[in-house]
Amino acid sequence: MLLDQPRQPLREASVPDPEPGAGQVLLRVAACGVCRTDLHVADGELSEPKLPLVLGHEIVGRVVASGPGAARFRAGDRVGVPWLGWTCGTCGYCRSGRENLCERARFTGYQLDGGYAELAVADQRFCFATPQGYDDAEAAPLLCAGLIGYRALVAAGDAERLGIYGFGAAAHIIAQVARHQGRRVFAFTRPGDGAAQRFALELGAEWAGPSDQPPPEPLDAALLFAPVGALVPAALRAVVKGGVVVCAGIHMSEIPAFSYDLLWGERTVRSVANLTRKDGEEFLRLAPAVPVRTAVEPLPLSAANQALERLRRGQLRGAAVLVP
């Protein structure tokens, strides 16, 4: 499925098979998760895509062939391909363990063709071995929703009372990890979204309610997965002194002006950008130990446009996964 231009539906197309270059593997895509970032690319809110583009950065595939010098995986191995597709390895960020901020980073399904396809190529250094105990579709959301969510959770420090705003793919995974770590989870959804609130309670949240209401008690930290700027002052209002508000999305609507009182008391607002390979390795070890169960809705590749539209409308439980 190809994105020719932002704000146009994806188009089903036959293209030449990609060939693995030096250090790359060629994968037969078994499943590719649909992430909110794909919507931001398709809608033109992320403005630098390669065009035409194959979206998708939660790829689970099996190695078909390896390019020159690519010996890490063997034919038939199942691997996962995340959003971080390439980094320079030499800039200050790369050399200080912050490759997620690399000045020249290239991202899967954005500057590199992704997984809404039957075949994909990927730099072997940025692929992960996928954990046992998950079928292909179940493993896909671990690769972005899971590991970006995990990076956001780490950024919240040792907060015990954790607010999660936006109960979609990332939240449903991270709520399980947070409970496993002994934290208390408070879930905020779109007002009126009783289904998402029930889903949050099933996954161990002790309270679930609309994001326009305060939680029943103050929070120690809040994770924002919904791309809604107005939630930043709302979350600041909900956290205690010293609390942190972590914005986990790559794009957010404008944050309304707010009184300094909300930030006072050493509250922090921060973002989480992309992932490092270390995040991925840590999270993919942790997920089966929890064990995280992913709720997925497998859909045929040709249904990519419908999957994006349902994500936009908040009509998915967990994550949509395209299965070629």
Q: In 3D, which of 42, 101, 84 has the Cα closest to residue 271? A: 101
Of residues 130-149, those binding Zn ion (CB under 5 A): 144
Tell me if 94 contacts Zn ion by CB under 5 A: yes
| AA letter at 101 | L
For the chain, give percent helix, strand, coil, nearest 5: 30, 25, 45
CB of 265 to Zn ion, least distance (A): 33
Coil, strand or helix: which one is 287? Answer: helix
Tell me if 321 contacts Zn ion by CB under 5 A: no
133 sits in the region (left: phi over 0; alpha: psi -120 to 50; else beta) called left
Cα–Cα distance between 175 and 168 in angstroms, integer? 11
Strands 219-224 and 239-247, by their bridges, are parallel
CB of 212 to Zn ion, least distance (A): 26
Tell me if 316 contacts Zn ion by CB under 5 A: no
Of residues 72-91, those binding Zn ion (CB under 5 A): 87-88, 91
Q: How many residues bind Zn ion (CB under 5 A)?
A: 8
CB of 104 to Zn ion, least distance (A): 6
Tell me if 101 contacts Zn ion by CB under 5 A: no
Cα–Cα distance between 188 and 228 in angstroms, integer? 12
In the shown chain, the binding pattern of residues 7 to 36 toward Zn ion, with x for contact by CB under 5 A and - for none, equals ----------------------------x-
CB of 205 to Zn ion, least distance (A): 22
CB of 30 to Zn ion, least distance (A): 18
Q: Nearer Cβ to Zn ion, position 199 or 225?
A: 225
CB of 319 to Zn ion, least distance (A): 10
Of residues 102-121, those binding Zn ion (CB under 5 A): 102
Q: Nearer Cβ to Zn ion, position 98 or 179?
A: 98
Q: Nearer Cβ to Zn ion, position 200 or 275?
A: 275
CB of 102 to Zn ion, least distance (A): 3
Question: Token pair for residue 24?
Answer: 């790359």
DSSP state of 301: G
Packing angle of the helix pair 194-202, 169-180 (nearest 10 deg): 30
Question: Token pair for residue 4?
Answer: 């020719």
Q: Nearer Cβ to Zn ion, position 151 or 183?
A: 151
Helices in 70-208 by DSSP H: which ranges? 92-95, 136-139, 145-155, 169-180, 194-202
Tell me if 37 contacts Zn ion by CB under 5 A: yes
Give residues in contact with Zn ion (CB under 5 A). 35, 37, 87-88, 91, 94, 102, 144
